[in-house]
Amino acid sequence: MPLEEAAGRMPGAGSRARRLRRAVFGAFVALVAVFGMTAGAGASATAKEPAEGPARFAPGFRHGKVVVEGGAVHYVIGGSGPAVVLLHGWPQTWLMWRPLMPELARDHTVIAVDLPGLGDSAVPAGGYDKVTTARRVREAVRRLGFDRVAIVGHDLGVLVAYPWARDFPGEVTRLAMIETPLSGFGLEELYGVSWHFRFNMSPAPIPERIMDNDDVSTYLGMIFDFSYRKDAVDRESYYRAYADPARRSAGYEYYRAFAADAENNKANAAKRLPMPVLGIGGQYSFGPGVADSFRQVADDVRTVVAPDSGHFVPEENPRFMADCASLFLGARTGTPPRPELASCAP
């Protein structure tokens, strides 16, 4: 739906639409810039993590799996205190959260999951719409003993976090949403920015037959070039994670469900989110566009622009992301130590 048409249907939505268009244009300019630059060598390779048992990236964390409808969900857990769930984006896995997890674990029980079908989670036969995915991840977290959580999501993880919070508002205390607008409320405006949207949404088996194992680093490397700090993303770990054709197909299925997600989101938009929402966009990517999208479905939305970051904020600027999340989640109080953190304070 064109933003002008959406604006005509919602009081005050015209200015939001204009801001989102500006954010989309800014994203396009940023993408043109990054494609004109030489790609970095990639983040340093780290030790491969197990699927179960003690984690290697930091002490005090452990891997496990919990069986839910659709198959086992892989998780990494550590720390103590109120629970915060970390939901990764595509084409990544829970690994993207490693720079933040030890910091957040000082005051929280941190639970990072691999979304169903990705990473070390089982590949479901179906159910890649975000309502079903949210219910599966929620079931996994509840089986771990947590029925009240804050959620931090990036990219695809944002799209899963929203129906979780919308449909179970009494169980979600806060949302920190990074680098994507919602389906039905702005995401469609980005389809022309990068061809990967339409490619991933193509009916099976079109992308499955076009993309083979030898193409993984080329294709995903293009996606990771949406970063501002190209050397910050641990590309090799993600190339390994998507070397399995079944994992790649699961990723496509998430995209193929975008149209159904948009319809569901619009049909349920009257269920406005009651909890505080932090909309975080990278300085060189979506900027205020994330918050503008969420203002259409939530009442308490704060805008944060992450400095020195493109699309992959948690890896490109982990110090800022850890400080911002800690403030927003209530682990730190008082005056924010830096002006760019002002909107992160609870």
Q: If we measure between CA atoms, which residue out of 297, 55, 62 comes closest to residue 158?
A: 297
pLDDT digits (tens, 9 = 90+) for 103-143: 999 999 999 999 999 999 999 999 999 999 999 999 999 99
User: Is 311 known to be catalytic?
Assistant: yes
Bond preceding residue 346 cis, omega within 30 of 0: no
Domain 3-344 annotated CATH 3.40.50.1820: yes
Say what the pLDDT of residue 9 is.
35
Write out pLDDT tens, residues 10-59: 334 445 444 544 444 344 334 333 333 333 334 434 678 999 999 999 99
CA distance 285 to 197: 16
Domain boundaries, the chain: 3-344
pLDDT for position 45: 46
The gap from C-alpha 3 to its chain's centroid, in whole angstroms, comes to 23
Section 296-303 average pLDDT: 97
The structure's pTM equals 0.88
pLDDT score recorded for residue 215 = 97
For residues 49 and 15, give the distance between their C-alpha atoms in angstroms, rounded to a whole number: 46
pLDDT tens-digit map of 266-280: 999 999 999 999 999
Q: Which entry of 155, 261, 292, 323 is annotated as an active-site residue?
A: 155
Out of 120, 196, 311, 323, the active site residue is: 311
Whether 196 is a known active-site residue: answer: no
Note the Cα 109 to chain centre separation in Å: 19
- Token pair recorded at residue 326: 């800690």
Q: Is 107 exposed, middle or buried (0-12, 13-18, 19+ CB in 10 A)?
A: middle
